[in-house]
Amino acid sequence: MTSPDPRWLRVPVPGNAGTATEGAGMAQATPYPRMPGGGISRRPLHFIILADCSGGMKGEKIQALNFAIADMLPHLAAWERDQEQAQVFIRAIAFATEPRWHIPDPEPVAQLGWKPLQPVPKGLTNMGPAFALAAQALAPGRIERRALRPAMLLITDGLATDPPGGFEAGLSALMAQPAGKLALRLAIAIGRDAQSAALDRFIGDPGVPVLVADSSEDIADRLVAASLAVSRMSEAGADRGAVARRLLGAPGDLPPNIFDQDTIV
Amino acid sequence: MATDSTTDEVATWQVITGSARGAAHRVSGLPNQDAVASQDGSGGIVVAIADGHGHIRHFRSADGAALAVDVACRVASQAAAGLAADATGDEEAERAGQELARAVVADWRAAVADQLEVRPYTVEEQFILDRSADTPVVPYGSTLLVAVIAARWLVCAQIGDGDMLAVRPDGSSFSPVAGDDKLDGRRTTSLCQPDALASFRTGAHDLSQMPLAALLLATDGYGNAQADEPWQPSVGRDLAELAACHDRHWFGQEVPGWVRRCASSEGSGDDATIALLLPGDARDAEEGG
């Protein structure tokens, strides 16, 4: 060919030796040699936050939660910058009596400005429908085949108030999706009273404890620990059992099931 | 990178290979755990790529991948000789693929056992093995994709993730082996699993009935870097176009760059390996560019 097909001209990526001219002002674009396909990108890591917005969260708790999430996101963004494999996308579900998408479409973590959650007056803590809503987003065809194992973080200050069978139905819907079943599922209980068997069932791994925030001030620390766990566990070759023990306080004599995942069928 | 060629009575095929260590592996100190090999057999060409699993359970997976491609090339060369010598029909070609898989599994396990004889697990390795409650072969876990082109036959066998893409001259493409629902993008089947043979997928295709412009074998570090989903149609279209315009020397220069980009932190960050087979009449005489 005597001239390059415009389809093959890719914007150079800084740091890719020999392909980009860096400097202040306008980048001097150097076309990549021809490469088949539609270009390359990092593997998506979908992180879904399920935030309790029931009536009990009003006041200091919801403020602390909003602060904590806003504080957590830069940690995830920093990890995204520092590692070599994943691009983190955030979605969020606010749940009370009914769930709703607070962030419906996957947002790159580096560009996300957290919009504060609002509690639902007299709203209940129905978790099952929130799981079912997340399950829809993790269905085949809705999540990329090349995506890393997704992560889910459930944050609540109370016990599930689902009507009979509601919690189980939602959890079953989530587990019915391959990506939901394989997801790293973590939970934060705001207050000891919120630590329940239901949260353990959501996590689905006796080797991964519920993180407890004893006070509103603790929420930020627990969220950072959870985000670190998600990011470290998503790294290539990670010993997830060791990560869980170090960051989540998982008991050493009970290896998390997550140790077995991302290897062989 | 290695470049090979062979000739038979029907067509000459060239193999261009490239393999790059993943950016994430570089950071974590892991080696390139992929392996690639090709071999001229009597009357055919053989190429194999393998992807050693990155999980700590599979701490000797780079060795497992290297053993896999060596074994596969040796076994597949014997298959190539048979395919070229006989008046092979559809059923025989299909059986050749199945026999190839059977022999690879048996010989790979034997090769692992041989290596363990001369290089037993260290105390540290044995600790990991015990903690995982794994059998001694699991640390060597690897995928394998192997293709044989002999006479008019393309015979393929694959276990685990990664992709084979057969590209027609019109740019349409297909996988020469069946898909596997167990491969969800996060877990893979493996040579190290007890029922490995049952997880092999094989295929045989008569190239005299269905000429190809290219055949691509790729580890998942290549496919996981592709932004398109699915990526195979656009890659197939582009490969057909490129094969019509460029000779193997051009591909030999470009392929290493493709895998380096895929393995970089802008791509999958994982080890990336491809083997590209091109029919010999693909603009051999023309200068690339």
- Domain of B106, CATH number, reads 3.60.40.10
Q: Give the B window 79-118 contacts with A, CB below 8 Å.
A: none
Report pLDDT for A265. 53
Report pLDDT for B10. 53
Q: What is the pLDDT of residues B200-218, one digit of tens each?
A: 999 999 999 999 999 999 9
CA–CA distance from A42 to each of A49, A146, A168, B61, B221 (Å)? 21, 9, 35, 24, 11
- Position B287 in a domain: no
- Position B286 in a domain: no
> Which residues in chain A are closer than 8 Å to B187, comparing Cβ atoms?
182, 261-265
- Position B288 in a domain: no
Contact between chains at B227 and A37 (C-beta distance less than 8 A)? yes
Could you give the percent of chain B with pLDDT greater than 90?
77
To the nearest whole number, what is the mean pLDDT of chain B? 90
More confident call, B7 vs A42 = A42
Q: Is the pLDDT of residue B153 over 50?
A: yes
Q: What are phi and psi of A136, to 5 degrees?
A: -60, -40
Report pLDDT for B181. 84
Report pLDDT for B86. 65
Report pLDDT for A240. 66
Domain count, chain B: 1
Report pLDDT for B287. 42
- Position B213 in a domain: yes
Report pLDDT for A29. 38
Whether B27 has its CB under 8 Å from any CB of chain A: the answer is yes
Q: Is the pLDDT of residue A138 over 70?
A: yes
Report pLDDT for A33. 59
Contact between chains at B186 and A263 (C-beta distance less than 8 A)? no
Q: What is the pLDDT of residues B228-285, one digit of tens each?
A: 999 999 999 999 999 999 998 999 999 999 999 999 999 999 999 999 999 985 445 4
Report pLDDT for A221. 83
Whether A181 has its CB under 8 Å from any CB of chain B: the answer is no
CA distance B255 to chain A (A): 8
Q: What is the pLDDT of residues A204-256, one digit of tens each?
A: 988 788 888 887 778 888 888 887 777 777 666 666 667 777 777 766 554 44
Q: Which domain holds residue B250?
A: 3-279
Report pLDDT for B284. 52
> Which residues in chain B are closer than 8 Å to A265, comparing Cβ atoms?
182-183, 187-190, 193, 199
